[in-house]
Amino acid sequence: AQSVAQPEDQVNVAEGNPLTVKCTYSVSGNPYLFWYVQYPNRGLQFLLKYITGDNLVKGSYGFEAEFNKSQTSFHLKKPSALVSDSALYFCAVKNNAGNMLTFGGGTRLMVKP
């Protein structure tokens, strides 16, 4: 079985400061890892993915994520947060054999001016 943990329900950060949203996963085989963002009253939007290659993945809106195999983590990062980054962020995982994505419980990011 595959699973995703997002240990923080909410992350608060001041505008201009770096942000990190944590994600750890459990999956058999090689992991395919994803981050999605959800703005209020909207569906989920794809941010970035790790399939293979460089451990540091760059995505939309200046976000990046670092794949760490030994720690089974895929933390989302941004060097300088914007108020408009405030949203709900979901981490997801699948293995290279299956079709099903398993999502974490989500982390609400609040960026204060």
Residue 2's contacts (CB-CB under 8 Å, 6 or more residues apart) are 25, 26, 27, 28, 93, 94, 95, 98, 100, 102
Least gap, CB of 80 to other proteins (angstroms): 26
5 in contact with other proteins (CB under 8 A): no
Whole-number Å distance between alpha carbons of 18 and 98: 34
105 in contact with other proteins (CB under 8 A): yes
If the CB atoms of residues 59 and 85 are measured against other proteins, the closer one turns out to be 59
Binding interface with other proteins (CB under 8 A): 32, 34, 36, 41-46, 49, 51, 90, 92, 94, 98-106
